[in-house]
Amino acid sequence: MLKTFNLNDSKLNYHQKIIKKIQTKLSALPEAFWKTNPILSGSYAIHLLFKPATLYDDIDVYFETEKDFLDCTKILRDLTERTPLPTRGQIYPAKNSTTYLYDFAKIQLINKAFMPPQILVYDHDLKNVSIAIQGTDIYLDDEVFSLFYNDKISIRSTQITDGMSDKDKMIKIANLYYRVKKYSLKYDLIPDYESKIILTELLDFLEAMPEEIKQTTYVDSSVYYGSYTGSQKNKSSISATIHRMKESLAHMNQIENSSLDEHESLVTGWVEF
C-alpha cells in the first residue's frame, strides 16, 4: 500500500533529518534545480531511509515530465560549464540517463520514463527500491519496511513484455538476476519466497533456449558498486549465468532448511555463488 509522508505532519521517523541531509548534500546546486520538481529514488533513497551506514554510488533523479528533465539538463550543463577547472564536473550520457559527476555528488538524471512519484514507487523491478522523495514529501510502498526489517529482497516485476524477442528476454532475465545479486550483496539481503519462485521460472526459460544463443549472448555480470577492478567488471554468457542461477537457488534452499546456527553463515555466503 502506498504511504505518503508530508513533512508538516509526518509520522515517519527522522523525516526532517532526511530532508536536511538531502538539502545539505545538494546545497551546491542552484535553486532552479529544485524548481524542476526532481524525484529522488534508488540507492540514495534507501541509504537515507533504511541503510544510512551503507554507501551509495550515485543519486538517481527522476521527473514527472520530459520538460522538467530537459530544464534540469540545461541547469546542470550550465553549472558544469561555469565551474572552473580542475573541479569542473564531467558529463556521461547514456541511452536512458545522463550522469553528472561533480566533486560533491554523482547525479544521474533518468530519462527512461516520466511519471509522478506515486507511480514511480511501483515502477521499479525490486520492491526494496519502492521509495520516492519529491520536495519534502516521501512516498513509499509500506511493504518496504518489512522487507528491510526481515533482511529480504523482493522482485516486483521482471519487466519482460510479450513483444520482446527471446534474446532480449534472456538479457532482461540475466540483468535482473545480477541486479538481485548486487542489491543482496550491498544490503545483506536474501530473496523472499516469491522471488525465489520467479527466479526458478526464469531459469527454466533460459535453459529451454538453444545452446548456441546461450553461449554467444553476453551480459554485464558485475555485482559490485563503486570502482571496479578488471576481475569484478566483466561480461558473462547466458550459459554461465544459468550455472550461477542454479547455484544461487540451491543455496537459497539450504538457507530455508538450515538450523538457526547455520542460518547466518549461509545468508552471508549465498551472494558468493
| Nearest in space to 271 (alpha carbons), one of 184, 174, 171 | 184
Which three three-digit cell numbers place residue 72? 534540469
Strand partners, 153: 191
Indicate the CATH number for domain 2-147: 3.30.460.10
Distance CA 39, CA 116 (A): 8
Single pTM value for the model = 0.87
| Nearest in space to 93 (alpha carbons), one of 80, 111, 75, 81 | 111
Q: Tens digit of pLDDT for each residue in 217-235? A: 999 887 654 433 444 457 8
Q: Tens digit of pLDDT for each residue in 67-84? A: 999 999 999 999 988 876
Distance CA 3, CA 140 (A): 5
Please report, for the chain, the start and end positions of each structural domain, with discontinuous segments joined by +. 2-147, 159-272
